[in-house]
Structures are given as C-alpha cells and as structure tokens.
Structure 1
Amino acid sequence: MSDKKISQKALQELHQQACEAKQEFYIDPETGYTVFTAFYHLKRGHCCGSGCRHCPWKKNSQKDSKNID
C-alpha cells in the first residue's frame, strides 16, 4: 500500500481510461484493491447491492436495510 494519497481527479481519470479501454476493473493505487468499472457493471446488467464505487445504478446500490429480516 502506498503512503501517497491520490486525488479524486486522478481516480476519475484512471476509471475513465479503464472504461475507454473496455477494462472490467483497475487497481486502486492507494489501497491496492481491485475496483470494478462502470463498463463492467453495465456489462453485468444489474446492481449487486454492495455499494460499488462506479455503480451506474447508484439509487439501488445498497440493499435496503428495512427489507432485511
């Protein structure tokens, strides 16, 4: 993991480049985590409810806690 904090703008550019290259994910340079792109989510076709960073279905991106038994 890097000690250097990356800017939101740099992350947006990294995401945009990955989408333009039709990549399903990129590696977050700050955390080392795999981050799915909007390209991947659209290809998948539905929201998983996990609150993903680039979910194109933001309104539905987290499971409704009211409906959990």
Structure 2
Amino acid sequence: MREHIPLEEGDYYWTPEGYRVFTARYLLKRGYCCESGCRHCPYGFDPRTQRRPK
C-alpha cells in the first residue's frame, strides 16, 4: 500500500462541474505517475499512447 499524502492548500482545485483536480505540485509530492491521464501530470504520461516520454 502506498503512503498517504495529506492534502494542503494549493494541492488541488475544484472545476465548475464539481470535480477535484490535483495540481502538478501535489502529483510531484505524491512521487509517482498513476497513468490515469491526469490533467496536470508532471511525468509526461500520454493517455492516447499509454506511454511516458523516455
């Protein structure tokens, strides 16, 4: 099981539709790519190709 990272101010924001969107800051703090195509993925994962850049 992965370590729980507590949420802090600036780690996410809410869209007008009511979805929570994690920022690149939080995703870097988390330390890994979940390969879900996150909007602000700092790891470069491309959901269309299912790959990260080398």
- Whether the TM-score (by the shorter chain) exceeds 0.5 is yes
So what's the TM-score if we normalise by structure 2? 0.63
CA–CA distance in structure 1, aligned partners of residues 40 and 32 of structure 2:
13
TM-score, structure 1 as length reference: 0.51
Select the structure that is richer in helix.
1
In the alignment of these two chains, the number of paired residues is: 42
Structure number with bigger Rg? 1
42, 45, 50: which one aligns with 1:56:
42
Q: Which ranges of 4 or more aligned residues in structure 1 deviate by more than 3 Å?
A: 61-64
- Structure 2 regions of 5+ residues with no counterpart? 1-8
RMSD: 2.1
Structure 1 portions without partners, runs of 5+: 1-21, 65-69
Identity of aligned residues (%): 54
